[in-house]
Amino acid sequence: MKKIYPFKLGKFECMVVSDGEAFVPANMLFANAPGDILKQRLSDYNLKPEKIFGPLNCLVVNTRDHSVLIDTGLGHLAKLIPNGKKGGKLLRNLKAAGIKPEDIDTVIVTHYHSDHIGGISDKKGKPTFPGAKYFFMRSEWDFAVDQHEMIKAKLLTIQDQVEFLEEDAEIIPGIKAMAAPGHTPGHMMLSIYSEEKEMLYISDVIGHTLHIEFPDWCMSHEYDPKQAIRTRRTILEKSVKEKILIHAFHQDFPGLGYVVQGENGWTWQSVE
């Protein structure tokens, strides 16, 4: 599996850095899919229903003024979560790319799920990125620490470095947080832009390519399935209409591509 994918967005030097992969069974990834259609589409993609592996694609953006990491992978939680044994490789791959934890000054976390927050601190509770400011949506943080003990313990390790976002806002010049709720209460996506070039980092708005073809198929762990569908459709429609480059956390590495209108609906067109 490829580990690093550098690319440019205007003046920004960007790099997709793999944290490895994790698996989800089909009945969780496509909880409301009609059985006959799902069985056929899984066969078309040569997927095993009990274990559908998905990449964990983190993103580094060097804006010249800031070194930004978006989402942190599973970190040491990979060893604690049965479906994440192949994850937790972000730090190793950052090192291979010549990036030290001390180089990162901004960490943006799109939502509280373990494959996005696991790498914010180590197993001793020490922040992984000691000089960074961590950004969360306030609604996401409040929900997570109120509902999930393991996640709460993890998040509290970085509470002294957190800056909360109350609404859509520019985090640093060229990176804007935008609410994309449904998957979780405060799930956010990011608009990243430089020199009239734009990319949408949509995180878990989609969990698999089939969510582009069938946007009404929901993941069983989505907080508000109806809202997730509305969000998914709105973002996919925007991306098709405006031909915007997308980064999707769980798409095949590097998770970069375009959603295009095909003969039978929307399809994914990878940059690879």
Continuous segment of H or E residues that includes residue 266: strand 265-270
Q: Name, in order, each residue with C-beta under 8 angstroms of 1's C-beta and a sequence gap of 6 or more.
A: 18, 20, 21, 55, 253
pLDDT of residue 222: 96
Task: Give how far the C-alpha of residue 258 lies from the chain's centroid of Cα atoms, to the nearest Å.
Answer: 16
Whole-number Cα distances in Å, 186 to 70, 168, 189, 217:
16, 11, 10, 20
pLDDT of residue 266: 96
Are the C-beta atoms of 268 and 259 separated by less than 8 Å?
Answer: yes
Continuous segment of H or E residues that includes residue 13: strand 12-24
d(CA 62, CA 69): 9
d(CA 18, CA 86): 11
Side chain identity at residue 177, one-letter code: A
According to DSSP, the residues that pair with 106 across neighbouring strands are: 68, 133
d(CA 236, CA 125): 38
| The two structure tokens encoding residue 47 | 């997927």
pLDDT of residue 264: 84
Are the C-beta atoms of 96 and 4 separated by less than 8 Å?
Answer: yes
pLDDT of residue 149: 87
Whole-number Cα distances in Å, 143 to 139, 167, 245, 272:
6, 15, 30, 37
Kindly report the backbone phi and psi dihedral angles of residue 196, in degrees, each rounded to the nearest multiple of 5, phi listed first: 65, 10
pLDDT of residue 171: 98
- Enumerate domains of the chain plus CATH numbers: 4-270 (3.60.15.10)
Side chain identity at residue 214, one-letter code: F
pLDDT in tens, 10-53: 999 999 999 999 999 999 999 999 999 999 999 999 999 999 99
**Residue ranges of the chain whose pLDDT lies below 70:** 1
